[in-house]
C-alpha cells in the first residue's frame, strides 16, 4: 500500500484577505468555534472554498481540500460539538500542563487565555461535527473524484495533553480515570470516521503536532514535576490514538501529521529529532501513513525512519511553508533518496523497493494552520509555486506514476 498521492499537501492553505477581513468584521477573527457564524459569512466562506477547489483542480493539486477555510485554527470544530464537552477559557500558563513547549510561544505572542474543551458529562457523538463540511466539499467535485479528497481532524489527545494534569474532565463527568475518558472520546472519533466514510470520504488526516513534544526535555521534565512518567503518558496516548481506529473500514485511509508547530510568523514550537519517540511511534501507532516534517535541520536527520515497519507509509515534508524561498529540485531529490536509504536499512530492503511502496512528498506543514497564520514572506502565489514544486519533485522521483 502506497500513500494516496506521491505529491501531497497538509490541508490548510492561505485564506483570501477578503475572507479574513469578513471574519474579523464579524468578531470571529480568533474565534475557536464557528457555531455562531453569520449567514453572510458562511456564504462567503463557501464561495471561497468553491474557488479554491477550482484552483486545486486547475493546478492538479491533490488531495482536494477546503484549505480549512471554514476553521479559524486546525483543531477547531470537533471537541466543542460533542455532547458532554464544554468550552472554557483557560489562563496561560496556570491552566496548562507543566513543561508544555507551546507556552513559550503563546506568552511571546502575548496570548493570556485559550479556549479548551473539558468533559463535564458523558462524551457522546450525537451530531457529526464535520459532515456538513465534507458534504459541501464533495458537492464541488464529481463523485468519481471523491476519493481524491481529504479532510483533517484534531487528535484524540489534544485537550488532555494541553490542559493541566487531571483537568481534562471534571467531577461532574462520569470519568475517574484517563482511560475511561479516552474510551468514550475514541468512540466519538470512530463514529465520526464511520459517518464521513458512509458519506463517501476515503482519506482523513489527524493533525497531532503535540506528539513531538515528547522529544523535548522540557515536556518530559514537566511530566515528572506533575508526578507523571512521560513514557507511560506517551504509551497512553498511543493506545488512545489506536482506540479511534478500531473497526474502521479497511478502505478508509487514515494518516497522522506530526510536526513541530506552525504558528503565525513562521513560529515553530520546538526542535529535535524524532529519534526519541520513533520506534514506539512508528511501530505502535496503527495509522496507514505518517506525514512528517523534514524541511530543515530543526527536524533532525532521517535516521529515525529506520524504525518504520514494512506496510506503513511516510510522506516526507521536505518543502517549507515557513519560508518563501524556493528549494532546489536537485536538493529535494537527494533528500528523498537519503530518507529512502534510511528506511531501506531498517527494513532490509532496497532503496527502490522503499520508493515503490512507501514514500510520498509534501510541504512540511499546512500553509495556514491558524486563520491569519502564514510563513514570513509567504503569498498565495508562492504557495501555489511551492505546491507545484512538490509535484515536480514527485514526477522526478516517480516518473511513471501519477502524482
Sorted by sequence, the CB contacts under 8 Å of residue 347 that are 6+ apart come out as 306, 308, 309, 310, 354
56, three cell numbers: 486545486
Tens of pLDDT, residue by residue over 139-157, are 999 999 999 999 999 999 9
> Would you say 239 and 346 are in contact if contact means Cβ atoms under 8 Å apart?
no
Report which of residues 261 and 112 the model is more confident about: 112
Tens of pLDDT, residue by residue over 97-122, are 998 988 887 787 788 888 899 999 99
Tens of pLDDT, residue by residue over 230-243, are 999 999 999 999 99
pLDDT score of 32 more than 70: no
For residue 134, report the phi and psi dihedrals to the nearest 5 degrees.
Answer: -65, -40
- Other Cβ atoms less than 10 A from the Cβ of 271: the count is 16
What is the model's pLDDT at position 218?
93
Beta bridge partners of 256: 206, 290
pTM of the model as a whole: 0.95
Q: Which domains does the chain have, with CATH numbers?
A: 17-397 (3.20.20.210)
pLDDT score of 71 more than 70: yes
> Would you say 358 and 372 are in contact if contact means Cβ atoms under 8 Å apart?
no
> Would you say 317 and 3 are in contact if contact means Cβ atoms under 8 Å apart?
no
What is the model's pLDDT at position 31?
62
What is the average pLDDT value for the chain, to the nearest integer?
93
Tens of pLDDT, residue by residue over 176-223, are 999 999 999 999 999 999 999 999 999 999 999 999 999 999 999 999
Beta bridge partners of 379: none
- Distance (Å, rounded) from C-alpha 184 to C-alpha 67? 29
pLDDT score of 39 more than 70: yes
β-strands 203-207, 83-91: how paired? unpaired
Amino acid at each position: 500500500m502506497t500513500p494516496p498521492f506521491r505529491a501531497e499537501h497538509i490541508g490548510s492553505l492561505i485564506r483570501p484577505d477578503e475572507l479574513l477581513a469578513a471574519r474579523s468584521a464579524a468578531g470571529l477573527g480568533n474565534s475557536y468555534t464557528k457555531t455562531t457564524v453569520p449567514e453572510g459569512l458562511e456564504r462567503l466562506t463557501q464561495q471561497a472554498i468553491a474557488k479554491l477547489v477550482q484552483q486545486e483542480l486547475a493546478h492538479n493539486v491533490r488531495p482536494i481540500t477546503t484549505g480549512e477555510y471554514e476553521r479559524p485554527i486546525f483543531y477547531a470544530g470537533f471537541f466543542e460539538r460533542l455532547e458532554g464537552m464544554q468550552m472554557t477559557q483557560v489562563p496561560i500558563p496556570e491552566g496548562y500542563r507543566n513543561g508544555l513547549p507551546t507556552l513559550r510561544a503563546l506568552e511571546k505572542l502575548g496570548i493570556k487565555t485559550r479556549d479548551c474543551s473539558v468533559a463535564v458529562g458523558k462524551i457522546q457523538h450525537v451530531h457529526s461535527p464535520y459532515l456538513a463540511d465534507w458534504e459541501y466539499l464533495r458537492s464541488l467535485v464529481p463523485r468519481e473524484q471523491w476519493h481524491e479528497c481529504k479532510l483533517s481532524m484534531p487528535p484524540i489527545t489534544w485537550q488532555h495533553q494541553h490542559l493541566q494534569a487531571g483537568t481534562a474532565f471534571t467531577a461532574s463527568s462520569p470519568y475517574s480515570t484517563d482511560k475511561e475518558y479516552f474510551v468514550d472520546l475514541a468512540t466519538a472519533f470512530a463514529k465520526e470516521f464511520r459517518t464521513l466514510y458512509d458519506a463517501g470520504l476515503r482519506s482523513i488526516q489527524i493533525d497531532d503536532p503535540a506528539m513531538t513534544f515528547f522529544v523535548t526535555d522540557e515536556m518530559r521534565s514537566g511530566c515528572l514535576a506533575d508526578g507523571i512518567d512521560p513514557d507511560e503518558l506517551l504509551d497512553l496516548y498511543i493506545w488512545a490514538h489506536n482506540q479511534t481506529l478500531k473497526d474502521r473500514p479497511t478502505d478508509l485511509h487514515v494518516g497522522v501529521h506530526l510536526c513541530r508547530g506552525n504558528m503565525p510568523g513562521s513560529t515553530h514550537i520546538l526542535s529535535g529529532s524524532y529519534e526519541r519517540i520513533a520506534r514506539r511511534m512508528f511501530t505502535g501507532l496503527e495509522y496507514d501513513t505518517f506525514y512528517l516534517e523534514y524541511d530543515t535541520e530543526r527536524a533532525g536527520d532521517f535516521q529515525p525512519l529506520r524504525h518504520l515497519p514494512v506496510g506503513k507509509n511516510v510522506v516526507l515534508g521536505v518543502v517549507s511553508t515557513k519560508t518563501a524561498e524556493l528549494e532546489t529540485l536537485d536538493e529535494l531529490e537527494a533528500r528523498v533518496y537519503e530518507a529512502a536509504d534510511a528506511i531501506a536499512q531498517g527494513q532490509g530492503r532496497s532503496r527502490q523497493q522503499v520508493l515503490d511502496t512507501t514514500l510520498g512528498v509534501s510541504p512540511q506543514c499546512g500553509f495556514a494552520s491558524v486563520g491569519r497564520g502564514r510563513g514570513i514572506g509567504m503569498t498565495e502565489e508562492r504557495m501555489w509555486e511551492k505546491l507545484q514544486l512538490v509535484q515536480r519533485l514527485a514526477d522526478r522521483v516517480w516518473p511513471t506514476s501519477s502524482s
